[in-house]
Structure 1
Amino acid sequence: MFRNLFTVALMVWTGPVLAHDHNRADLSKWFEKLHDRKGDLCCDGSESMHLSEVDWEINGNRYRVRVPTTSGGFQRAMAGAPNVETEWVHVPDDAVIAEPNRANVTLVWPLYGPMGVSVRCFVPGTMT
């Protein structure tokens, strides 16, 4: 519980902000063209979250990410609210973006539906 609260606080602090940075207008076109391995567009970046290093991991060639449990939690986290409940979610192989990360931060596009949370798109960052 404490780790989840700490993680969300860290996520909020490091940036569950809009993915396209208004100081980096050169990335807007890049975000608009991002698509998963099935060819589906990820959106313009406004629905993505920046993840800190403690909110994603790789085991072999499989990724998993920690994201808010509900769409309401996602909206609260994006607005900067603390204490949002999170869960680990496996990233499907076809959701991984297969091009270099020009934003230099890990990005995830969570998708909320009747079966819970899944990942629409994921751009890995670097783990240091």
Structure 2
Amino acid sequence: MFRSLFAVVLIVWAGAVVAHDHNRADLSNWFEKLHDRKGDLCCDGSEAMHLPEVDWEINGNRYRVRVPTTPGGFQRAMAGAANVETEWVYVPDEAVIDEPNRANVTLVWPLYGPTGVSVRCFVPGTMT
């Protein structure tokens, strides 16, 4: 049963993972100015993943997100693939973007390196 539930969640998640909506040109300037708490820019939004509510949470006083485990998985997820391996990753406090979320969807910028996946920037959505 757990496997079936996980498969359904993964399919729903993969369908919801998309890049910045290029049809929303009104948000381009907002994306280009987003920066984390250290002052580092997050990029233009083209690398941002949109996360449904089931793929992010507040655990204690920290955010946690479910993202693809590898850069190849990230690329496949961004292209709409449903069979992408994911893992839960804690969002560093300095990666949280404090300004209001104009995109109205949770956004995360995963960062892949030699020690695995981490989070470069994160814009929380609303939990309903």
TM-score category by the smaller chain?
over 0.9
Task: Report the number of matched residues.
Answer: 126
Cα distance between partner residues in 2 of 1:90 and 1:42:
17
Report the more deviating stretch, 86-95 or 58-67: 58-67
Q: 2:10 aligns with which of 8, 21, 36?
A: 8
CA contact (8 A) 2:65 2:91 kept: yes
Post-superposition Cα deviations, 1:20-78, rounded to whole Å, max 9, x if no partner, equal x2332110000000000011110000111000000000023210000001111001100
TM-score using structure 2 length = 0.93
Consecutive unaligned residues of structure 2, counting only runs of 5 or more, are: none
Task: Specify whether residues 71 and 5 from structure 1 end up closer, same or farther in structure 2 by C-alpha distance, changes over 3 A only.
Answer: farther
Residues 1:80 and 2:71 are matched in the alignment: no
User: What is the CA RMSD across the aligned residues, in angstroms?
Assistant: 1.2
Specify every segment of 5 or more residues in structure 1 that has no aligned partner in the other structure, as ranges.
none
* TM-score normalised by length of structure 1: 0.93
Q: Equivalents in 2 of 1:110, 1:4: separation in Å? A: 21
Which ranges of 4 or more aligned residues in structure 1 deviate by more than 4 Å? 1-4
Structure 2 counterpart of 1:17, which letter? V
The one-letter code matched in structure 2 to 1:40 is D
Contact 2:15 2:82 (8 Å CA) reproduced? no
